[in-house]
Amino acid sequence: DVQMTQSPYNLAASPGESVSINCKASKSISKYLAWYQQKPGKANKLLIYDGSTLQSGIPSRFSGSRSGTDFTLTIRSLEPEDFGLYYCQQHNEFPFTFGSGTRLESK
Amino acid sequence: QVTLKESGPGILQPSQTLSLTCSFSGFSLSTYGMCVGWIRQSSGKGLEWLANIWWNDDKFYNPTLKNRLTISMDISNNRAFLKIINMDPADTATYHCVRGAGPARAYFDYWGQGVMVTVSS
């Protein structure tokens, strides 16, 4: 199985700041990585797929990038509603696997 | 508007069989290429993909759990199901129903909020 190593575990930032969350695949997954946001009491939200394609309806302050097996989710100019949990998922091969999550908290 | 909602027993004893139902709307599993899956989330293992079922009844399972899982669907009533046999306390988790997206239906564009399942004697 492809192991997804996500970092950092916790991240504290203030509204208006920019943050980055990283995910490293244990082997090549080409561009096939998705990012999700999780918030209490709400269904998980797909943010990005194929490494850098923004899902419809997601604000453009979210972006994804890739360098080899390293992937980054960047959120520019944080809004209050952006605080929560973030997960990456490789969608290159079965079984699909997830990162361990990053908790983005308000400083 | 796409929605998915899971239902299940809430609590089970070890060795029992878990039966989960996903009731969805806004799409149909009779549509070419459509897919529904199950993902669980526990404090110990994080998010774990379990199984997908496609419009043509193709099924893919996580090999780690394959011998214990059965995914099925009721196209007429817009429902999907997951059975897990021989439940263990380690299977305690929130179980999510998801819709597969993309050409390979390999990521998930809609999630249900999940149903909490506790395995305890």
Per-residue pLDDT of A39-87, as tens digits, reads 999 999 999 999 999 999 999 999 999 999 999 999 999 999 999 999 9
Which is nearest to A90 in space by CA: A63, A52, A50, A54?
A: A50
Query: Which pLDDT value is given to residue B45?
Result: 82
Total residues found in chain B within this entry: 121
Q: Do residues A89 and A4 lie in contact, with contact meaning Cβ atoms separated by under 8 Å? A: yes
pLDDT band at A18 (very low <50, low <70, confident <90, very high): very high
CB of A29 closer than 8 Å to CB of A66: no
Task: Decide if B107 and A44 are in contact by the 8 Å CB cutoff.
Answer: no
pLDDT of residue A33: 98
Q: Touching check for B109 and chain A: CB below 8 Å?
A: yes
pLDDT score of A105:
97
Residue A44 and residue B111: Cβ atoms within 8 Å?
yes
